[in-house]
Amino acid sequence: MTATDDLIDRLPEPPEALARATSQAERVADMLRVFVIDGALAPGTRLSEERLSRKYGVSRNTLREAFRLLSRERLLVHQMHRGVFVSHPTSDDVRDLFSVRRTLEIPAVRGARHAPDEAVAAVGAAVAEGEAAREKADWWAMGTANMHFHRALAGLAGSARIDEFMNQVLAETRLVFHVMNAPEQFHAPYLDWNRRIHLRLAERDADGAAAELSRYLDASEEQLVTAFTVMERGSDGS
Amino acid sequence: MTATDDLIDRLPEPPEALARATSQAERVADMLRVFVIDGALAPGTRLSEERLSRKYGVSRNTLREAFRLLSRERLLVHQMHRGVFVSHPTSDDVRDLFSVRRTLEIPAVRGARHAPDEAVAAVGAAVAEGEAAREKADWWAMGTANMHFHRALAGLAGSARIDEFMNQVLAETRLVFHVMNAPEQFHAPYLDWNRRIHLRLAERDADGAAAELSRYLDASEEQLVTAFTVMERGSDGS
DNA sequence: ATCGTGGGATTGTTGAACAATACTTCAATC
DNA sequence: GATTGAAGTATTGTTCAACAATCCCACGAT
């Protein structure tokens, strides 16, 4: 045990990125994930193995690995011998997604008394991001900011697994907006709500923030579900 | 629209299994999952693609698809150009797992007032299963029953996504017991606690049940983390 | 209009090949 | 004696081509 060893031991922890040089399949999955979330691939679209593998110059096997990853995130659904399709959430899914969000977000906010300041600051940053997007009337960016806001709320829990789960849930929630044609103005009314919630958090009024959030989620779910059922009734060819 | 159509519309919903004839990769994943959870494959073990594919008569490509599935469940970890290994959770993971379980289970129990009777009955069934296992001094079965108990608690929330997430969390929790050598007696003291929680639930005293559960989780985490840190200190060759 | 029955297209799985990377061994060096 | 450097070896990453299994669609028979 020399002095050099001591110094090396005191070096900072390795950045997470070091562990994983990304594989081709993951890169393909990342690309497709963006396509799905951004709506370049509409819900219900079938993803042909042959065409995609030719288009992006990867083998079918690699592509299939990417499909598996995204299926696990519920962004794609895989049907035996039929192929993979972009998920097409139903109103039941919407209800389930909100149920999950209530479960994750509200306890996280309520427990925010013990959350580190940076976590609360992340919430504030997302609010600011949303307001900046509203200035520019950039609806798509507003949706993204809203996602970041709720991700930051869940992040107050300080759990890596919850963070990951929440990411999936939010990605799926975004799909819901693509299923309905009227996507992004939905977020606009909620911006002020976001700011109120952050204000409470900043004052460390966790219960107040949680109560606001609860009402927020109720209202948002209500609005989405009604819009959704109307749409489902309409597109149902009976 | 004939009378026949009417009758067909009224037929029960399709059983979930119908949608998915299982693929080979999924079957392999199912098998490996059991191996990992039951401890036939110790944490840290490397899974050689070549040997496994020869042993089980599947191609490397298929095997790799199975690996991806299990990696997503955190039962295996994949390192580029090194292979996949059975996960080896740390005490940090234990804390995170309990954080998740608190987040999922406690709200589910607290909201159990509106849960259907069958969901509460499932909790009772898991308690009975555990007591039967204790009779026979079958520690492994007791662990399984305890898993079922907590899965049933999370099931009170009535969300498909939470059910799935909880399943993963519990599978991972089971891995934790394999990391420590003294695995299954840990469950024994908690059986009576389980029964108390179910009793409160049956009386629809949701808050009381949630309070009991909260104490349960605190105690269980405390016990596991201490055992774990002792062990980590020991195996750390410094 | 409904029900079989093909043919055509797509996915499921395999096996082999080669490239890229990590591990091991051993000699050279300080 | 311990560390470094440079082989060779083993394993994974990715692609490709082939064939089997299954689904979809269109056509014709009832």
Test mutation, A33, A85, A103, chain B, max B CBs within 10 A: A103
Would you call B65 an interface residue with chain A, using a CB distance cutoff of 8 Å? yes
**DSSP string computed for A92-130:** HHHHHHHHHHHHHHHHHHHTGGGS-HHHHHHHHHHHHHH
Would you call B59 an interface residue with chain A, using a CB distance cutoff of 8 Å? no
Please state whether the predicted TM-score (pTM) of the whole model is above 0.75: yes
Q: Do A159 and B103 touch (CB under 8 A)?
A: yes
pLDDT of residue B60: 94
How confident is the model over B142-160, as a mean pLDDT?
95
| Model confidence pLDDT, tens digit, residues A79-129 | 989 999 999 999 999 999 999 999 999 999 999 988 999 999 999 999 999
pLDDT of residue A13: 53
Test mutation, B80, B165, B236, chain A, max A CBs within 10 A: B165
| Model confidence pLDDT, tens digit, residues B51-105 | 999 999 999 999 999 998 899 999 999 998 999 999 999 999 999 999 999 999 9
pLDDT of residue A143: 87
Helix (H) or strand (E) holding A206: helix A206-235
On chain D, which bases lie within 7 A of the protein's CB atoms?
A: 11-18, 21-24
Which nucleotide lies closest to A83 by the C1' atom and the CA atom?
C11
Q: A10 to chain B, minimum CA–CA distance in Å?
A: 15
Confidence of residue B143 (pLDDT cuts 50, 70, 90): confident
**pLDDT of residue B162 exceeding 80:** yes
Q: B179 to chain A, minimum CA–CA distance in Å?
A: 20
Q: What's the Å distance between residue A27 CA and nucleotide D6 C1'?
A: 33
pLDDT of residue A19: 45
Sign of CA dihedral A83, A88, A94, A100: positive
Nearest CA in chain B to A21: B80
Beta bridge partners of A47: A84
Which residue type is seen at B232?
E
The residue ranges of chain A whose pLDDT is under 70 are 1-21, 181-185, 233-238
Shortest CA distance to B38 belongs to which of B197, B138, B145, B178? B178
pLDDT of residue A126: 97
Give residue for tokens 């997604």: A97
pLDDT of residue B181: 66
Q: Do B104 and A108 touch (CB under 8 A)?
A: no
Which nucleotide lies closest to A84 by the C1' atom and the CA atom?
C11
How confident is the model over B138-151, as a mean pLDDT?
91
pLDDT of residue A183: 54
Nearest CA in chain A to B101: A162
Q: What's the Å distance between residue B22 CA and nucleotide C1 C1'?
A: 35
**pLDDT of residue B16 exceeding 90:** no
How confident is the model over B180-196, as a mean pLDDT?
78
**pLDDT of residue B160 exceeding 50:** yes
Q: What's the Å distance between residue A28 CA and nucleotide C27 C1'?
A: 44
CA atoms within 13 A on the CB side of A94: 23
Confidence of residue B12 (pLDDT cuts 50, 70, 90): low
Would you call B100 an interface residue with chain A, using a CB distance cutoff of 8 Å? yes
Spell out the alpha helix ranges (H) of B11-116. 24-38, 49-56, 60-72, 91-110
